[in-house]
Amino acid sequence: MNRLTTEPMWKKRSTITKGETIRLIIEVVSTNWQDDYGHKLADYERLGIFEYWILDYLGLAV
């Protein structure tokens, strides 16, 4: 089943509102790594995203 069809904002904004829609998020850290490590993790947790990976290929964060 395509769970994106149950997301009310997906077609207009590519935005999810339900954590069960996405099971895994993989984020590639960019120069704004503070957002990736801090804010986004809290946002995804609040949505109930089960798993969140951060790829920091340049070793930008300490």
pLDDT in tens, 12-24: 887 888 877 888 8
Indicate the helix (H) or strand (E) that contains 13.
helix 10-13
For the entire predicted model, the pTM comes to 0.58
Mean pLDDT of 20-38: 75
